[in-house]
Chains A and B, each alone.
Chain A
Amino acid sequence: MSFDITLILDSLPKMLSGIGLTFQLLILSGVLGLLLAFVLLLMRLTEKWYFSVPAQVFIYVFRGTPILVQIFIIYYGLPQFEAIRESIFWPILREPFGCAILALTLNTGAYVSEILRGAVLAVDRGLLEAGSALGLSRNQRFIYITSPLAIRLGIPPYSNDVISLLKSTALASTITIFDMMGIARTIVAETYAPYEIFISLAIIYMIFTFFIQKGFGYFENFMSRHVKK
C-alpha cells in the first residue's frame, strides 16, 4: 500500500477549514447541554415525582438510543409535523446545524446530568450535617457546600463526556454539515484515499482531545487546591 504524503498535505488545510464548525458544535452543545444537565439534576434532586419522573424518562430515552438515531429523528422526522414547522423553533430546526446542536445538546445533557448527580451524591453526608447543625438552609448547603465539592468530584467524568462530545460532533456530517468530518468525507469521495484522509483526521481529533484533557487537568488542580500536597 502506498501512502500519499502530498495528498495529506493538500487535504489538511481543507479539513482544518471545518474546524470552526466543529468547535461551534462542540461549544454550543456543550454549554447548552450543561445547562440542560443542571436543570435535569435539580428536577431529579427534588422529592416531587412530577419533576423527577420526567427527568428520569428523558435521561433514559437519550442514553438508551444511539445519538445517530437521535440526529436522524430530529433532522428527518420533526419537519413532518405541521406544529413544528409553524413553531418559533422552525428557523432553527429548518437548518441542519440547528438540528445537530439540538441532538447533541439533548444527548450530552442526559449524560452530564447523571455525572452531576453522581458527584452530588458523593459529597460526604457529614459535611451537610455540619451545615444543617450550623443552621444553614437547604439552598445554602447546596450552594456553599455541595456545589463546590461536587464540581471537583465531577471534573474527571465530565471531561470524559466533553471528549466524547467532540467526537460525536463528527456525526453531524451525516446531515450535510461540513465540519472537519464532512469535509474529509467529501475529499475521500473525490480521491478514493480513505486511509490518508481519515488517519490525518483522526490525528487532528487526537490533538484536540489532548488539549481538552490538559485544560481539565488544570481545572482539576485548581479545584483541588485545598487538598494537602
Chain B
Amino acid sequence: MTQPLIQMQNVDKFFGSFQALKNINLEVHKGERIVVCGPSGSGKSTMIRCINRLEKHNSGKILIGGRELTDSEKDIDAVRREVGMVFQSFNLFPHMTVLRNLMLAPQLVRKNNKSKAKEIAMKYLERVKIPDQANKYPSQLSGGQQQRVAIARALCMSPEILLFDEPTSALDPEMINEVLEVMEDLANEGMTMICVTHEMGFARSVADRVIFMDLGEIVEEASPQEFFENPKNERTKLFLSQILSH
C-alpha cells in the first residue's frame, strides 16, 4: 500500500488546560473521502485545522504527503499550498471581486502571471457554475454562491487535499444543495477530501469512511453503511438518534 497522504499519530491539542484533541490517530489515502461528524465541541474542526496548521498541535506527529508539520515556516507553507480549505463562514476577501479572490493565491503563491491566473480562475468559476458573477463583490452574492466561490478559490491552487469545515452550516436551507452538489462532483472526480459536516445524506452517498468524534477523541471509524446501520459505540448511537430522529 502506498504511503498515506495524511498521517496523524497520537496528536494532542490543548487550549489552555482544555484538551481539545486526545490521542488522535488518522490516516487518509489519496482519493479517500472522509466525513467527520460529532457533537459541537467534539474537536472535529480543531482536528482538520491542525492538518493545515491553522492550529498547532501540542504533541504527536502530523505528516502531510510525508512532510512533517513542525514550526518550520517553509514546511508549513509547502503543506498549505497542497491543502485547500473551505470555511463555514466562507471567508471571501470582501474588498476584492470574485475574480480577484480567485486570482490572488495563484498569482502570489504559484507565481502565475495575470492572464494565466485569470484563466485558472475562470476555469474553476465555470466548474462551480457561476462564471457570470466574476466581477461582483462577495457581498453581492447569495450565501450558496459565496461558498461555491470559496470552493473555487481553494481549487485554483490545485490542492492535493481539500478540507471542508462545516461548509453548509451557515447557509439557508435552500442553498445547501447547490454547495453539496459541487462537493459531490469533486468527490466523484477523485479529490481527497475531509469534510466536517452534519449532512448525513452527503456522508451516506459520498464518504468512504465516516469518523465520529466526541470529547476530543475519535470514537468510531467505519464505512457509511456500517456507521449508520450498525454503530458500535453507545455515544455514536446516541448522536445518530439525536440527529436522525426528525
Contact = CB atoms under 8 A, between A and B. Distances in A.
Interface of A: 124, 126-127, 129-137, 140, 144-145, 148-149, 152, 226-228
Interface residues of B, number: 28
Contacts of A129: 54, 87, 91
> Which one of B92, B95, B109, B139 has the greatest number of beta carbons of chain A within 10 Å?
B95
| Interchain residue pairs A-B with the least CB separation, the first 9 | A130-B91, A134-B105, A133-B85, A226-B137, A135-B81, A135-B109, A228-B139, A135-B80, A126-B91
Given A133-B54, A133-B80, A135-B109, A127 B91 contact: yes
Contacts of B150: 130
Contacts of A127: 91, 93-94
B153 interface: yes
A156 to B, nearest CB: 17
Helix, strand, loop or mixed for chain A's interface? helix
Contacts of A152: 95
B22 to A, nearest CB: 24
B140 interface: yes
8 contacts: A126-B87, A130-B85, A130-B93, A134-B157, A135-B81, A135-B157, A145-B93, A148-B95
B95 A134 contact: no
A134 B139 contact: no
B8 to A, nearest CB: 18
Contacts of B81: 135
B1 interface: no
> Which one of A127, A137, A227 has the greatest number of beta carbons of chain B within 10 Å?
A127
Contacts of B238: none
Contacts of A131: 93
Given A131-B93, A134-B153, A228-B140, 19 more contacts: A124-B91, A126-B87, A126-B91, A127-B91, A130-B150, A132-B80, A133-B52, A134-B104, A134-B109, A134-B154, A140-B109, A145-B93, A148-B95, A149-B95, A152-B95, A226-B94, A226-B96, A227-B137, A228-B139
A131 B95 CA distance: 13
B151 to A, nearest CB: 12
Contacts of A130: 85, 87, 91-93, 150
A129 B134 CA distance: 23
A130 to B, nearest CB: 4
A130 B54 CA distance: 9
B23 interface: no
B77 interface: yes
A10 B94 CA distance: 54
Nearest to B156: A134
Nearest to B153: A134
A134 B140 contact: no
Interface in B23-58: 52, 54
Interface string B175-206: 00000000000000000000000000000000
A228 B85 CA distance: 26
B154 to A, nearest CB: 8
Contacts of B94: 127, 149, 226-227
A186 to B, nearest CB: 49
Nearest to B52: A133
A59 B54 CA distance: 32
